Amino acid sequence: METYYAGSYWLARQESIEACAQRLESFLRGMSPLEPTWSRWYEAAATFQKARKQQLSPDASTLAKLLGKKSNRFGDDSSFWLWAGETSEETSGVNGHCGSSSARVSSVCLLNPLSQGEVAERVLKAHVLTGVVRAMALAWAPEFGIATSHEHRNLIVAEQFPKLGTYVGWVMYFADFRGPVPPLPAPVQVEHIPDRGTLITLTPEKFTVSNPAHVALAEDVQARLQDAGLLMPLRPWGT
């Protein structure tokens, strides 16, 4: 059983709590049309029952208060942990941190984990996960984004802590400043987002490591992107 996640990453871009709150608001609003349960988000709590009482209004002023809490601040970094779902067995988690000037620890927005159940059946589709990574690109303006299975990442990355931006997945995003995307083979779909970057979706089918054709396609795309100089570790923003 493969588990899937989506993430967006950037490095050393200092931003205020208010700016991060605006980005988080934009991201949550961009997620809402993709899955019915993603229209209601809650703060984390000790139990599911307690957390269900902590629904969060996804507006920038409310989110700024959340990001500004002492427990969510570490230096110039603001963290968040949110979840959505109607039952404790089928929840989606969104977490991350934003605003840091650190050149060692990346800022991030993550959606995970997704594996089985009705929500996963609806979400683990190419157009939905492409929509998730698109929402991340528009809201967070990351350098690199990806949606894929943990199993595929573990298959192609030998390091215990893989360098972000150096490997491929089912859906990928590369900021424009990383360079142009080369021609890619069918059935890969490529979409440019103006003033942001490029989305790449390997296959319209559910991508899985149990399908040799999917793994071979990923290897082909990995080689092409590597040759084009797109697969590189994150670098400090603006350099």
pLDDT at position 114 over 80: no
Residue 94 placed within a domain: yes
Residue 124 placed within a domain: yes
The 10 Å CB-count burial string (b at 16+, else e) for 56-95 is bebebeebbebbeeeebeeeebbbbebbbbeeeebbbbbe
Residue 239 placed within a domain: no
What tokens were used for 114?
Answer: 């997704």
Q: Characterize the bridge pairing of strands 73-74 and 77-87.
A: antiparallel
Q: In this predicted model, what pLDDT tens digit does every residue of 82-110 receive, in sequence order?
A: 999 988 888 899 999 999 999 999 999 99
Residue 15 placed within a domain: yes
Provide the mean pLDDT of the chain.
95
Interatomic CA distance for residues 175 and 173, integer angstroms: 7
Residue 146 placed within a domain: yes
Contact (CB, 8 A) for 137 and 145: yes
Residue 104 placed within a domain: yes
The predicted structure's pLDDT at residue 187? 98
The predicted structure's pLDDT at residue 90? 85
Residue 236 placed within a domain: no
Q: In this predicted model, what pLDDT tens digit does every residue of 201-211 receive, in sequence order?
A: 999 999 999 99
The predicted structure's pLDDT at residue 185? 97
Query: What percent of the chain stands above pLDDT 90?
Result: 87
What tokens were used for 38?
Answer: 């993603």
Residue 140 has phi, psi (to 5 degrees) of -95, -15
Q: Which residues pair with 189 in a beta bridge?
A: 201
Q: Residue 178: which domain range?
A: 4-227
As for how many domains the chain has, the answer is 1
pLDDT band at 47 (very low <50, low <70, confident <90, very high): confident
Residue 125 placed within a domain: yes
The predicted structure's pLDDT at residue 116? 79
Interatomic CA distance for residues 173 and 147, integer angstroms: 9
The predicted structure's pLDDT at residue 154? 94
